[in-house]
Amino acid sequence: MSSSIKIESVVKEKNRMGECPVWEERESALIYVDINSQKVCRWSPVTNEVQSVSVDARVGSVALRQCGGYVIALGTRFAFLDWDTQVVTTILELEQDKPNNRFNDGKVDPKGRFFAGTMAEETAPGVRASRQGALYTLFPDHSVIKQLDQVDISNGLDWSLDHRTFFHIDSLAYAVHAFSYDVHTGKIACPKLLYHLEKEEQMPDGMCIDAEGKLWVACIDGGRVIRIDPETGKRIQTVRLPTPRITSCCFGGKDYSEMYVTSAYDGLDEATLAKEPHAGEIFKVILNEQLPSFPES
């Protein structure tokens, strides 16, 4: 038997800035956001239908609630989203002194706390105030703590399988950092550089962890996701996708054997867009699909 990688575009409805994919078991669906279109979206692989709820600010991340519905980080506030009624209920406003900031990527930790970080928006092409972002944790009792300060673009995040390490990306550091993580308190400490991206990998964006404890990092403008071994800090695999602006990834499907990868078309000029028919689509990647190997005749 030999292994191969199968890549398929499954969501053709294009996203300006598709991000934060999350597999929702109870709906057998993929949840994600289109940040710049200010939408939370849900795609069903059964019907191939995309449903969406529009919100009143750029929405950086979405996560599942145990009781149903979602928690979202939009603008500079945490909120609940009731999918059926489309009602958004604010939990807490943050960073009201930073009008150019907004929430970006977020994810729920092993104990149900929602970690999400902020960033400064560009005030002109390529112009952004530095180190204006932070990383916050929203607890189930609705209290919030600030975990990190002076972040440029708080981005991909996940936890080790033993719940002892927290992984985090600040995109403009072009690196993944590992922190010690206390699962009982939710606190992080002692950051260490885990992996610095190489030039052709471009900028790190979203991230997820697989069943073997390896990290997958989406490389925006690098057209790929890379697999990193946290034990060695080495890249061990590269999967190239058919569009450059690769934004995030997650595992899902019936047995979580499929990786879903989001992308964006915002940031591409007209000439580039004409050559990138898959920009903004969502891809399904099946890794190590077993193929029969035949003896040579």
Question: Model confidence over 16-39: pLDDT tens digits?
Answer: 999 999 999 999 999 999 999 999
What's the pLDDT at 4?
Answer: 84
What's the pLDDT at 125?
Answer: 86
CA 24 to chain centre: 15
- By the 8 A CB rule, do 60 and 79 touch? no
- By the 8 A CB rule, do 139 and 184 touch? no
Q: Is 212 a known ligand-binding residue?
A: no
CA 228 to CA 215: how far, in whole Å? 5
For the question of residue 162 being annotated catalytic, the response is: no
Q: Is 48 a known ligand-binding residue?
A: no
Q: Is 235 a known ligand-binding residue?
A: no
> Which of left, alpha, beta for 63 (phi over 0: left; psi -120 to 50: alpha)?
beta
Question: Can you list the residues of the chain whose pLDDT is less than 50?
Answer: 1-2, 290-297
The amino acid occupying position 73 is: A
What's the pLDDT at 297?
Answer: 33
CA 14 to CA 2: how far, in whole Å? 34
CA 136 to CA 103: how far, in whole Å? 10
- By the 8 A CB rule, do 11 and 50 touch? yes
What's the pLDDT at 264?
Answer: 98
| Residue 22 β-bridge partners | 31
**Residue 5: count of CB within 10 angstroms of its CB:** 13
CA 65 to CA 140: how far, in whole Å? 10
Alpha helices, H only, the chain? 270-274
CA 166 to CA 154: how far, in whole Å? 14
| Residue 34 β-bridge partners | 18, 39
Backbone φ and ψ of 296, nearest 5°: -70, 140
For the stretch 256-278, pLDDT in tens is 999 999 999 999 999 999 999 99
Q: Is 102 a known ligand-binding residue?
A: yes
What's the pLDDT at 294?
Answer: 42
Q: Is 104 a known ligand-binding residue?
A: yes
Q: How much is the pTM?
A: 0.95
- By the 8 A CB rule, do 33 and 61 touch? yes
- By the 8 A CB rule, do 284 and 249 touch? no
**The one catalytic residue among 34, 109, 158, 205:** 205
What's the pLDDT at 164?
Answer: 98
